[in-house]
Every structure is written in structure tokens, then in C-alpha cells.
Amino acid sequence: MDFLRPASWEEALAAKAEYPTAVPIAGGTDVMVEINFDHRRPEYLLDLNRIPELREWEVGEETVQLGASVPYTQIMDHLRAELPGLALAAHTVGSPQIRNRGSVGGNLGAASPAGDSHPALLSAGAEVEAESVRGTRLIPVEEFYTGVKRNALEPDELIRSVHIKKADGPQQFSKVGTRNAMVIAVCAFGIALHPATRTVKTGIGSAAPTPLRARAAEDFLNAALEEGGFWESGKIITPSVAKQFAELASGACNPIDDVRGTAKYRRHAVGIMARRTLGWTWEQYRGTGRTLEGAA
């Protein structure tokens, strides 16, 4: 195995063009596990740790441009206001040691359906900035996940950053694991209210071959909120609407039975999380939210 150590982003792109099978590594939280367990024997590892701009972020007017290697700890510490859903998700990643090294770029590169940041990215709205020697393109995150542990990157492309919409309303993230910390998701749910556009967006993790949005649930809820004048009145969401939203979120899942949980449980739990997180975000939108977010 050759270890490529580009000193700059340009060198990294050139290396990836020259060695398209090279596996990028930053924190190594996924890649090293795969190598240690002998699940994967890449010919080349492409070390991105010498490229400082990957660990930087920029808060713009509408979006946060989050460098691919920004560790979760930084998101929790510095971007809680702009990216509340992602900050909550970041807090559930592994242990403090892993949060110090792991990054959203790694989560996207691995494209595991259980990656914790996906539901937050899907609900907030995000585009993945993929770059190669051929140029740069922005891939909407919904189109980025193409299968179990597969993504839309071309062999010569690297993830430069993720452009994530700044929160224009309350966001929540919730994840079921069978332990109270340091646990991989059995399933997860993200939700973001976008009062500016009067829409609600969602993200489901670990309950289908890829992370996905619960589109039917979103469409139903957006219509119900609009028709009922909820955005203007800020009145409590009718329980039947919340229930229907939860059922549709549940129905969006296409899970499997595995050692972490049954398919039936995953569908059930996504429904519960959808109902609860809708309640939390809506309470906050109404300005009465005692529980802005889970504190820890």
C-alpha cells in the first residue's frame, strides 16, 4: 500500500487524477477500521491531513461552506447557531476522541446509510462540492447517495467542502441506538423548519439503503401547514397532522433486519422520532419552546 501525502489541494487533485483508486483519508474513522478488519486493501491511501483549507469553514450569507475535514468537535463548538441540526448529530458521533478526528467529508465519502450527519444535511439542505483536475461541481446532497456505501463522486474527484444552508428556523436531530452514548445508529431522523420558504425538510438515516428524505411526509406536512395557516398563526399542530406526518415518515423507510434491530422496529422508531422532533421544532417556532434542543 502506497501512502500519498499531497502538500496542497492542487497536489491532492493531481494525485487523485493519477491514482483514481486511491482512498482519501483524513480522520480515518471509517477507513482505518476497514483496513484493520481487512475489509479493504486499497492500493493507495491519499492523506488529506496536510491540506489546511479542508479544516476551515466560512459562514456566508446563505450557507456555511464547511471544509471536508472539519472535525465534529469544531461543528459542535462553533457552528451550533448556524447548523443546529448538524451540531446535534455531531454530538452523537462515536466518542470524544472520534469527534476530534471524524468529519462530514468522511461521512459523505463512506456514504454509509448509518452515517450520523446525513439526516441533518438532508433536512437543512446541502450541496457537496466535488472537485477534480477537470473542475468543480456542486452535487445536491439528495443526489449524492447512490447506494449502500456508494456515492456520486467520479473516480478522480475529491470532496472539497459541503455547502450547507444556514438555519432559518428550528432544527432537530434524533437517533436511536441501544446504548446511551457512543453507539452506531439503529435509525435516525433529522428535521428542519424553513419559515422563509414555509417548508419543512427531513432526513432519514439507517432505515434504507441510502440516507433519504421523507418526501411524502414533507409534502403532506407542507400542504397541511399551508392550508391550516399554521405558519402565520403559530398554533399548535393538530395531533392528527403530526400522526399522519409520522406515519408517512415511517412509510418512507425501506429498512432491513440486522443485528442492530429489526426492520419493523426501525419503521416504528422513525415514526416516533418524526412526531417528536416535529413537536420540538414547532414549539420552538411558536416561541414557546422550553426545549430548544437537548442539552448535554
Partner 1 sequence: MGVTGTPTSINQGSKTKGGIGESTLRPDGTLKVTGEFAYSSDMWHEDMLWGHTLRSTTAHAEIRSIDTSEALAMPGVYAVLTYDDLPTEVKNYGLEIQDTPVLAHGKVRHHGEPVAIVAADHPETARRAAAKIKIDYVELPVITDEASATAPDALLVHENRDDHHIGHVPHPNIVHRQPIIRGNADDAARRADVIVRGEYVFGMQDQAFLGPESGLAVPGEDGGVDLYVATQWLHSDLRQIAPVLGLPGEKVRMTLSGVGGAFGGREDLSMQIHACLLALRTGKPVKMVYNRFESFFGHVHRHPAKLWYEHGATRDGKLTHLKCRIVLDGGAYASASPAVVGNASSLSVGPYVVEDVDIEALALYTNNPPCGAMRGFGAVQACFAYEAQMDKLAAKLDMDPVEFRRINAMEQGTLLPTGQPCDSPAPVAELLRRVKAMPLPPEQQWLAAGEQADVRALPGGLSNTTHGEGVVRGVGYAVGIKNVGFSEGFDDYSTARVRMEVINGEPVATVHTAMAEVGQGGVTVHAQIARTELGVAQVTIRPADTQVGSAGSTSASRQTYVTGGAVKNTCENVREKVLETGRAKFGSYHPAWTTAELLLEDGKVVTDGGEVLADLADVLEGEAVDLELEWRHRPTEAFDPRTGQGNGHVQYSFAAHRAVVEVDTELGLVKVIELACAQDVGKALNPLSVAGQIQGGTTQGLGVAVMEEIIVDPKTAKVRNPSFTDYLIPTILDTPTIPVDVLELADDHAPYGLRGVGEAPTLSSTPAVLAAIRDATGLELNRTPVRPEHLTGT
Tell me whether residue 234 or residue 294 sits nearer to partner 1 (CB atom).
294
Element (H, E) at 289: none
Residues 82-111 that bind partner 1 (CB under 8 A): 88, 91-92
Phi, psi of 105 (to 5 degrees): -60, -40
Number of residues near partner 1 (by CB under 8 A): 41
Which one of residues 59, 110, 265, 286 is an interface residue with partner 1 (CB under 8 A)? 265
The answer to whether the CB of 102 falls within 8 A of the CB of 27 is: yes
Residues 22-41 that bind partner 1 (CB under 8 A): 36-38
The residue type of 114 is A
Give CA torsion, residues 281, 282, 283, 289, to 10 deg. Answer: 30
- Cα distances from 238 to residues 15, 277, 282, in angstroms, run 56, 15, 11
| By CB under 8 A, residue 183 contacts partner 1 | yes
Tell me whether residue 6 or residue 113 sits nearer to partner 1 (CB atom).
113
| By CB under 8 A, residue 292 contacts partner 1 | yes
Tell me whether residue 14 or residue 184 sits nearer to partner 1 (CB atom).
184
Helix, strand or coil, per DSSP, at residue 258: strand
- Cα distances from 260 to residues 107, 176, 254, in angstroms, run 19, 10, 15
Tell me whether residue 126 or residue 269 sits nearer to partner 1 (CB atom).
269
- Determine the interface stretch with partner 1 among 101-109, 205-213, 234-242, 263-271 (rule: CB under 8 A): 263-271
* CA gyration radius, the chain: 19
Interface ranges with partner 1 (CB under 8 A): 36-38, 88, 91-92, 172-184, 186, 259-262, 264-265, 267-269, 272-273, 276, 279-280, 290-296
